[in-house]
Structure formats: C-alpha cells, structure tokens
Amino acid sequence: MRKSLEKYYRIDKLPHIWCPGCGHGIITGAVVRAIDNLKLDKDKICIVSGIGCSSRAPGYLNFNTLHTTHGRALAFATGIKLARPDLKVIVLTGDGDCTAIGGNHFIHACRRNIDITTVVFNNSIYGMTSGQYSPMTPLGAYATTAPYGNIDRNFDLCKLAQASGATYVARGTVYHVPQLIKIIEKALQHKGFSVVETLSICPTYFGRKNKLGSPVKMMEMLRDNSITVKAAEKMPREEMVNKIVIGEFFEENAPEYTEEYMKIIQRAQGEE
C-alpha cells in the first residue's frame, strides 16, 4: 500500500477477515484510491454497509463508518444523507445484501435519486454464510442451496438500477482496477444516486462449488469474458452469452432528493 493512502485505513484493525484470493479487498482499495484522487474531505465522508463479507469493508476504513443490519444499508444511509446533505455518503454492499433482502431499499433509493454512491460487491454468492445462491447467481451455477444447479434467474443489476431511476450506472470488475477506480470517481462526483456494480470473486465458495480453479483462474475469467459497453453494442446476441459487459451504462442529470427537500423547506417556511 502507498504510504499516502495509509490515513484512509484503520491499520490497527488489519489483518482483515477476507479469505486469501477474495476480490473484496481490491474493491475496497479502489474506493479508497477514488476518494484520494478526488481529494474529498475525509471527515465529511460517511461509509455505510449492511451484512456480509463485503459489508465488513467499512470497518477497515478510517471515516465515519456504519455497519448496519442485513440489506438495510441504504435505509440508514438515506437517513444520514437527508439529515446532513453536506456529507458524502457511500454505501458498500454485497450482491445478496443489495438485491435480495435489500432489494426493495435499493430500487427505492434509485427512484428517489438521493445523492448516495452505492458500490455493489458482486461475487454471485452469499459468501459470509458459506455459499448459498443469491439473486445474482447465474442460472445453472452451483451453490450449497442449489446442489442441482440454480434455476432462479439472476438480476441484471445495472438494468435494474437504471429502470428504477438511478442516474449514474456502471459496471466494473476486480480485474480491471484502473477502470474501476475511474468509474468510482465518476460515481462519487455525480450528483444523484450512482451505482457501481463490481464483479468480485469468492474463490472459497463460488469458485469451489463451481470448480473454477484458483483465484488467479477466476481473475483470468473476468479478463477473458469482459467486453466494453461499446464492443457489446456491435456484438451479435448469440456471442453475448456469458459475457460481462463493463463500463458506463447510463448517466443523466435529474433533480436530487435532498436538494428537492430543501425547496420543500423553503416553500413551507414561505407560507407562514
């Protein structure tokens, strides 16, 4: 780690709980680098998470950090942001945390377009509870609760976010780190609800259950299967199967929730 980045970490809380080869540390590092590149005021940043391996990330980060209940990070974050719109609120969440138990909060946070950046650590599995399928587990994949293969169709999180009203939507992976940092920077600078889905790897459960080999092999799969949004536009449908489309999907300027609420306050006070 670069010396200049140490101030963002709670070094005394290391080593972290993640398994060797886990992708979550890479995403955490990318978030820190994006914050550093943007020179954001450290004291004005608030990082909120739910429950899961991914949601343990804030504990290692030296900001106002809040490790909430499973799936509810966005609800807590909404309270913080509305109470203190001057704070930069970042949510770190897992695919299960965000799209299963927290799915309702996710679509409503998108819809409100509240100025929160959500980074989803998508390892396609429930890591913390040791490998059950999540709403992001691909069709046919194996999990401890899908011993015969998964018949649940998975979400396309970016489409879900966009359809729900998020105003910045992008996808990255733990293989494409420089690009991931750039995307997170853009998400942090965006006014409104921004979503960065990041494909992570869980060698311990998803990897093992699906016989994907070493963490290195899993990283190579991310490398080999990823194509950019631009390339995907030109690609025939049949070739798109099993491809991971990465890059920016959507960006729009729309009224931001806490700013709209300030107008409500002005209106209410003007009436008196």
Ligand X SMILES: Cc1ncc(C[n+]2csc(CCOP(=O)(O)OP(=O)(O)O)c2C)c(N)n1
Residue numbers of the site for ligand X (CB under 6 A)? 51-54, 70, 94-97, 121, 123, 125-129, 134
Residue 203 interacting with ligand SF4 (CB under 6 A): yes
Give the count of residues interacting with ligand SF4 (CB under 6 A): 12
Eight-state DSSP code of residue 44: G
Pairing of strands 194-199, 226-228: unpaired
Nearest to 120 by CA among 63, 222, 52: 52
Site for other proteins in 103-132 (CB under 8 A): 104-105, 108
- Least CB distance to ligand SF4 at residue 32 (A): 18
- Least CB distance to ligand SF4 at residue 179 (A): 21
Candidates 19, 38, 40, 75: give the one binding other proteins (CB under 8 A).
75
Using the rule CB under 6 A, give the single segment among 15-23, 58-66, 77-85, 247-255 that binds ligand SF4: 15-23
Which of the listed partners (ligand X, other proteins, ligand SF4, none) does 129 bind, with a CB threshold of 5 to 8 Å by partner kind?
ligand X
- Least CB distance to ligand SF4 at residue 257 (A): 32
Q: Is the Cβ–Cβ distance between 222 and 244 less than 8 Å?
A: yes
Using the rule CB under 5 A, give the single segment among 5-13, 86-94, 109-117, 206-214 that binds Mg ion: 86-94
b/e string for 14-53 if b means 16 or more Cβ within 10 A? eebebeebbbbebbbbbbbbbbbeeebeeeebbbbbbbbb
Give bridge partners of residue 152 from the DSSP assignment: none
Of 91 and 244, CB closest to other proteins: 91
Q: Is the Cβ–Cβ distance between 179 and 248 less than 8 Å?
A: no
- Least CB distance to ligand X at residue 243 (A): 22
Q: Is the Cβ–Cβ distance between 54 and 127 less than 8 Å?
A: yes
Residue 66 interacting with other proteins (CB under 8 A): yes
What residue has token string 């996808």?
Answer: 171
Which of the listed partners (other proteins, ligand X, Mg ion, none) does 128 bind, with a CB threshold of 5 to 8 Å by partner kind?
ligand X
Of 102 and 172, CB closest to other proteins: 102
Nearest to 50 by CA among 100, 113, 107, 12: 100
- Least CB distance to ligand X at residue 158 (A): 17
Q: Whole-angstrom Cα distance, residue 14 to residue 241?
A: 40
Phi and psi at residue 141, to the nearest 5°: -75, 160
Q: Cα 207 to chain center, whole Å?
A: 20
Q: Whole-angstrom Cα distance, residue 181 to residue 179?
A: 5
Q: How many CB atoms lie within 10 A of CB 205?
A: 23
Of 70 and 176, CB closest to ligand X: 70
Of 123 and 226, CB closest to ligand X: 123
Residues at the interface with other proteins (CB under 8 A): 10, 13, 42-44, 46, 48, 58-59, 62-69, 72, 74-84, 86-87, 104-105, 108, 261, 264-265, 267-269, 271-272
Residues at the interface with Mg ion (CB under 5 A): 94-96, 123, 127
Residues at the interface with ligand SF4 (CB under 6 A): 18-19, 22, 24, 53, 123, 127-128, 202-205
